[in-house]
Structure 1
Amino acid sequence: MTTPAPTLSKDIAGLAALFLTSGVTHLVRPGVFEPLVPRALPTPRGLVYASGVAEILCAAGLLHPRTRRWAGWGSAVLLVAVYPGNVQMSLNHARRAARRQDTPSRAAFAGTLARLPLQLPLIRTALRAAGRA
């Protein structure tokens, strides 16, 4: 007997919407994300496209009860995998803020810093979708 999939709560639906929006943006504007790919990794554009497709697949999987459990696991793994890119985004904004010394640059940097700990509730939501949290 299989365990029923976790219900589609507002937070799981929100995670799916976030992934769908981000995934489409990765495919439509890949140049925005290329500077976030660590230099040691090959083919930044290909990795941006791959992560965009993965986000869209996770979004679709989270919405359907039969695939929600696997999509939850995939979403958690994806969120951990892209975390270095989020750190890189903060570092990029820190350099820009130090160089420009203006309020918009500092605000953007502060926003990227505030975003880093928000990955934890997203991962928790993904694990809940997987039936593990």
Structure 2
Amino acid sequence: MLDPIADMLTRIRNAQLAGHSSVSMHASKMKFVLASILEHEGFVGRVEKKTEESGHETLCVTLKYTQVSPTKKVPAIQELTRVSKQGCRIYVKKSEIKKVKNGYGIAIVSTSQGVMTGTEAFRRGLGGEYICRVW
């Protein structure tokens, strides 16, 4: 696995498209912070870090859906896109952080003061690596 963040985002996207209630993956600090931001913003239900018998940590993300009809549910995440990739890092200044889908989505930025949403980074006057956008 070359890019663990892209792998995490792909697992979440695929699990929602398949209609799964949760998804598990290997845990890391960065993945936990990203999942916690998604939880705080209301895109996923619950984020847990579990330790397996072998000692490896696993991140379990409960997915969130909206019940449209008795037989149909719509995922809370419509699109989850990795922006900055390992081969082509994308850095943004405070002035370059734009609203995602007119404020319906979020940008996730890694700044010198930690990983945060684009609106929080803008409020603090920080720029950084543009990790992904969600809506």
- The structure in which a higher percent of residues are helix is 1
Q: TM-score, normalised by structure 2?
A: 0.25
Could you state the TM-score of these two structures normalised by the residue count of structure 1?
0.26
User: Which has the greater radius of gyration?
Assistant: 1
Q: Which has the higher strand share?
A: 2
